[in-house]
Amino acid sequence: MINEGTFKALVVEKNDGQLVATMKQLTVEDLPREDVLIQVDYSTLNYKEGLGFANRNKIFRIFPIVPGVDLAGTVVESKSPNFKPGDQVILNGWSVGERYWGGYAQMARIKSDFLIPLPKGMDTKKAMSIGTAGYTAMLLTMSLEEAGVKPDSGPVIVTGAAGGVGSNAVAILAKLGYEVTALTKVGQEFTHDFLRQIGAREFAGGKEWLQMPAPLETQKWAGAVDTVGSMVLARIISEMKYAGCVSACGLAGGFDLSITVMPFILRGVSLRGVDSVWCPNPRRIAAWDRLVTDIPDAALDRINKVIKLDEVPQYAKEILAGNVTGHIVVDVNA
């Protein structure tokens, strides 16, 4: 058993203001004193970790830290009545990998309040193929549904469609019967074949997406999933159809938003924010239960790339530079 000796972990330390990521051999005694010990199978790499490794946005709040906002694995020891050895569990969010040690290690000690059971019909690799990106995409989809956006309402646009959250949203919405338009950056037209394979019907792009829109543009979208923010989100809102809804979760393009109230009061448009980090467990579990069936395995195979733990810093640079298509799974035991 790994916990009887040493195990590998990717540890980030801060030296003279610079972040240093090092592969280390740790023991269970090096882990935080939380109530559930987990043997980790897989984690993920997301845009947030890209920011963290680049020492931007103060993602990593404690040092040393084992990053990784996700993990899936098996309980080895538990002081919680809610989990017992042998249980398979998932972790997403709760500032794990930021304020608490996360999933980039073969063993992890996690607060039991942060864990949910692995859904029936899903293994740990599929769980991390979905990861925070797919779980967030499911929350975004649920938000659109609750706003009354249905498959027959009209086209739905997904921004940042080639990224982790975006590609999962494309696959989920397409599986549910929505007519999906994918928005990608200028110069990322090479991703269109990939996006078409996972369900995108149409594509949007062009220089207008780099410009501020008029308060009201031509009505195009019944719904939208936005991972970008800033001018892209402003344009999406200005182009919404009457009673349309934008479900927003990201700020890859910036956290500013310059708009007028006109789309809201003249077209009845709604803007719904989606948070995956602090989402209450009942809604979190509901999203994961739907992910057993509402995202096609074939799409996950196309969306995901599996990397080794020691490759994380390299790929973190690539994901921040926009050079990664889809989603990255981290096999901590490879």
pLDDT tens sequence across 154-169:
999 999 999 999 999 9
Q: Count the neighbouring beta carbons within 10 Å of the beta carbon of residue 302.
A: 15
pLDDT over threshold 90, residue 3: no
Whole-number pLDDT of residue 2: 54
- 3-state secondary structure at position 213: coil
- Identify the band that residue 4 occupies on the pLDDT scale cut at 50, 70 and 90: low
pLDDT > 50? residue 260: yes
Count other C-beta atoms under 10 Å from residue 297's C-beta: 8
pLDDT tier for residue 313 given thresholds of 50, 70 and 90: very high
Question: Distance between alpha carbon 328 and the CA centroid of its chain, in Å?
Answer: 10
Under 8 Å between Cβ of 97 and 69: yes
> CA-to-CA distance for 150 and 136, rounded, in angstroms?
19
Query: CA angle, corner 184, sides to 183 and 186, nearest 5?
Result: 125
Summary count for the chain: helices (H), strands (E)? 9, 15
Q: Is the pLDDT of residue 35 over 60?
A: yes
Q: What is the pLDDT of residues 179-235, one digit of tens each?
A: 999 999 877 889 999 999 999 999 999 889 989 999 999 999 999 999 999 999 999
How far apart CA 154 and CA 156 sit, in angstroms, is: 7
Q: Cα separation of 77 and 35, whole Å?
A: 8
For residue 113, pLDDT over 70 is answered with yes
Domain residue spans in the chain? 2-118+300-331, 132-273
* Three-state DSSP class for residue 306: strand
pTM over 0.85: yes
End-to-end CA distance of the chain: 16
Average pLDDT value for residue range 281-287: 97
Q: For residue 282, what are the contacts with CB-CB under 8 A and spacing of at least 6?
A: none
Structure tokens at 86: 């042998």
Angle at 221 between CA 219 and CA 225, to 5 degrees: 140
Closest CA to 240 of 262, 257, 222: 222
State how far the Cα of 143 lies from the Cα of 262, in Å rounded to an integer.
22
**Rounded CA separation 74/39 (Å):** 5
- The topology under which CATH files domain 132-273 is Rossmann fold (3.40.50)
2-118+300-331: CATH, from 1.10.3480.10, 3.30.565.10, 3.90.180.10, 2.60.40.10:
3.90.180.10
CA distance 275 to 197: 28
Longest dimension (CA), the chain: 65
DSSP string, 1-50: -GGGSEEEEEEEEEETTEEEEEEEEEEGGGS---SEEEEEEEEEE-HHHH
Residue 313's H or E segment, with its range, is: helix 312-320
